[in-house]
């Protein structure tokens, strides 16, 4: 069970690092730049797949941690 948790943890770290920076315009708020922070941006294609994989891996990580805490 610990090896599965380790593998899921590494995959989760890698997939989070592959995501595009959604908060890249947050630095422009502090510096006073023109920002489109609140614009509606839909995920499409690979961004949507990476987002769903991240959510699934996060859920698997959570479930494994809860199961391990009870065992």
Contact 25, 38 (CB under 8 A): no
Task: Give mean pLDDT, residues 56-68.
Answer: 96
The pLDDT value recorded for residue 36 is 55
Is the pTM value of this prediction over 0.75? Answer: no
Q: Any idea of the CA torsion for 8, 12, 53, 27, to the nearest 10 degrees?
A: 170
Q: How many Cβ atoms are within 10 Å of 8's Cβ, its own excluded?
A: 19
Task: Give the tens place of pLDDT for each residue, 32-42.
Answer: 555 555 556 66
The pLDDT value recorded for residue 44 is 76
The pLDDT value recorded for residue 42 is 67
Confidence class for position 18, pLDDT limits 50, 70, 90: confident
């Amino acid at each position: 069970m610990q090896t599965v948790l380790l593998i899921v943890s590494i995959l989760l770290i890698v997939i989070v690092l592959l995501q595009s920076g959604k908060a890249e315009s947050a630095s422009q708020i502090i510096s006073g730049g023109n920002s489109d922070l609140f614009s509606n941006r839909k995920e499409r294609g690979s961004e949507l797949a990476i987002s769903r994989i991240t959510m699934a891996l996060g859920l698997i990580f959570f479930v494994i941690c809860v199961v391990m805490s009870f065992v």
